[in-house]
């Protein structure tokens, strides 16, 4: 039918990835409205957050549509240039940034709030993918590329960690996975992983037992990290449930746990959450808890399943790539998105105590637009793969026709049977 051809022409590339993207966007609109409507009711406009999120989703869809039509080679240029721009913006944030969730993370550009760390994540992956492809295709010195990647990742994390330690950890972890996948040498990667674990333990011990001089620096974010690491869940603190005190430090976590515990198998149905009234970050960092409360374990498992299928489809695309750069891009972007999703889910269920938005679902303009860009770039690679496969198929068909024509001519000549 005509409308089917129009849709196929607009939404090119992997149809499964497009479907997952659209489903996650639809879930976002429903759950952001459900998680925020009560919080905004007393302020005169219960539709405020869902209207904003619908706008973000619409612009995110536009970003994905544009990004998936751009040839993937363009993103090699965007990577290094965009990373430099993101560093400049991150330095700007440190001195002139606006506060988001208790930390300086955003800047205003032409009246629109923007979080540069999201751009840094995207462009860092593109830059590393370019470097690793040079090693495999052009024989660049693997030792130098390894240290270049370490340096670029280190600078990026250094500019981020003070105001958003969890994102710096996320970036470091994903880059480490990415380098393992990129086969930069088992010995190097083993040493890097060991050094990373030692550093992580050292940072943990430093925050848990800070030296005396830290108190005199008045670092507010350090206090936040310490509170999170020192937080102990009620089931382990040795006090009776009736004596358990909900404080400012454990409020978000506790109500998220209550939301999950009361969701059951099928949930309370969308719009009937009770803990949304008490979760100030219910539409952002803790939205997965609201999803489970309203749709139960079935809904929570379905959302998890969508992200895992996204990772699976992306890895299949990477295997089908005929060149290393698009393969690395697909692997890097899918790992960044899915690992962040798993981290956000771990926060909601209480495995870790930090904050990460759930990609394509949590409320937030920058997160939505950059996540949509991830999808668009992955689909750009998918479109490229399909074009190559079609060209090879057409070439094969043309060759087959040529052979058949030659055989037909030869059988029509006199004495051909002889």
**DSSP, residue by residue, 366-404:** HHHHHHHHHHHHHHHHHHHHHHHHHHHHHHHHHHHHHHH
Q: What is the Cα–Cα distance from 91 to 113, expressed in whole angstroms?
A: 16
- Following DSSP, what letter does each residue of 227-265 receive, concatenated? HHHH---GGGSS--GGG----TTTHHHHHHHHHHHHHTT
- The tokens for 288 are 């997965």
Nearest to 367 by CA among 309, 284, 305, 253: 284
Can you tell me which residue has the tokens 């879930």?
27
User: Does the pLDDT value for residue 390 go beyond 70?
Assistant: yes
Question: Which residues 6+ apart lie within 8 Å of 75 measured at CB?
Answer: 126, 329, 377, 380
Whether the predicted pLDDT of 411 surpasses 60: no
Starting at the edge strand found earlier in the chain, the sheet holding 98-100 runs: 98-100, 103-109, 112-114
Mean pLDDT of the chain: 79
CA–centroid distance for 358 within its chain: 8
Per-residue confidence at 217, pLDDT binned at 50, 70, 90? very low
Which residue is it, tokens 């988001």? Answer: 100
Average pLDDT over residues 156-166: 84
| Dist. CA 222–CA 227, nearest whole Å | 9
Q: Which two tokens stand for residue 105?
A: 């993370």
**CA 273 distance to own-chain centroid:** 26
Q: Is the pLDDT at 197 greater than 60, yes or no?
A: yes
| pLDDT tens by residue, 51-60 | 888 999 999 9
* Domain locations along the chain: 21-401
Can you tell me whether residue 104 is helix, strand or coil?
Answer: strand
Which of 231-235, 318-322, 351-355 is predicted with the least confidence, judged by mean pLDDT? 231-235
Most confident range, picked from 226-235, 252-261, 292-301: 292-301
Per-residue pLDDT tens over the stretch 87-138 = 999 988 888 767 665 556 777 776 667 888 999 999 999 999 999 888 877 7
H-helix or E-strand spanning residue 107: strand 103-109
Q: Which residues are paired to 112 by β-bridges? A: 109
Phi, psi of 171 (to 5 degrees): -60, -50
DSSP 97: P
Place of tokens 């083993």: 190
pLDDT band at 176; cut points 50, 70, 90: confident
Looking at the DSSP bridge assignments, the partners of residue 98 are: 106
pTM: predicted TM-score of the whole model, two decimal places: 0.83
Q: How many CA atoms lie within 13 A of 67 on its CB side?
A: 23
pLDDT at 418 over 50: no
The pLDDT of residue 374 is 95
Q: Can you read off the two tokens belonging to residue 159?
A: 């500019």
Angle at 84 between CA 79 and CA 88, to 5 degrees: 145
């Amino acid at each position: 039918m005509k409308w089917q051809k129009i849709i196929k022409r607009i939404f090119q590339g992997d149809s499964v990835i497009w479907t997952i993207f659209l489903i996650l966007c639809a879930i976002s609109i429903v759950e952001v409205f459900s998680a925020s409507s009560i919080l905004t009711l007393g302020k005169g406009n219960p539709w405020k957050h869902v209207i904003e999120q619908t706008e973000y989703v619409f612009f995110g869809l536009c970003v994905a549509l544009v990004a998936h039509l751009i040839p993937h080679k363009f993103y090699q240029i965007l990577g290094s240039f965009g990373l430099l721009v993101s560093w400049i913006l991150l330095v700007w944030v440190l001195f002139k940034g606006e506060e988001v969730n208790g930390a300086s993370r955003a800047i205003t550009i032409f009246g629109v709030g923007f979080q540069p760390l999201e751009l840094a994540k995207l462009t860092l992956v593109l830059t590393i993918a370019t470097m690793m492809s040079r090693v495999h295709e052009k024989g660049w010195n693997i030792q130098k590329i390894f240290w270049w990647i370490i340096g670029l990742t280190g600078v990026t994390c250094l500019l981020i960690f003070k105001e958003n330690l969890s994102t710096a950890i996320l970036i470091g972890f994903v880059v480490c996975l990415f380098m393992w996948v990129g086969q930069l040498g088992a010995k190097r990667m083993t040493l890097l992983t060991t050094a990373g674990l030692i550093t992580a333990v050292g940072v943990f011990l430093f925050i848990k037992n800070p030296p005396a001089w830290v108190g005199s620096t008045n670092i507010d974010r350090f206090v936040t990290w310490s509170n999170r690491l020192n937080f102990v869940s009620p089931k382990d603190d040795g006090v009776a449930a009736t004596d358990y005190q909900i404080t400012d430090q454990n409020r978000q976590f506790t109500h998220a746990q209550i939301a999950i515990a009361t969701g059951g198998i099928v949930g309370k149905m969308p719009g009937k959450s009770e803990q949304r009234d008490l979760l100030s970050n219910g539409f952002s960092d803790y939205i997965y808890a609201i999803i489970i409360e309203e749709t139960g374990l079935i809904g929570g498992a379905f959302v998890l399943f969508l992200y895992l299928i996204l990772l699976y489809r992306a890895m299949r695309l990477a295997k089908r790539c005929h060149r290393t750069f698009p393969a690395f891009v697909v692997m890097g972007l899918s790992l960044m998105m899915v690992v962040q999703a798993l981290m956000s889910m771990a926060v909601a269920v209480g495995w870790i105590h930090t904050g990460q938005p759930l990609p394509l679902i949590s409320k937030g303009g920058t997160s939505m637009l950059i996540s949509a860009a991830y999808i668009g770039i992955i689909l750009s690679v998918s479109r490229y793969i399909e074009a190559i496969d079609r060209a090879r198929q057409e070439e094969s068909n043309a060759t087959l026709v040529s052979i058949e024509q030659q055989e037909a001519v030869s059988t029509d000549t006199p004495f051909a049977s002889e």
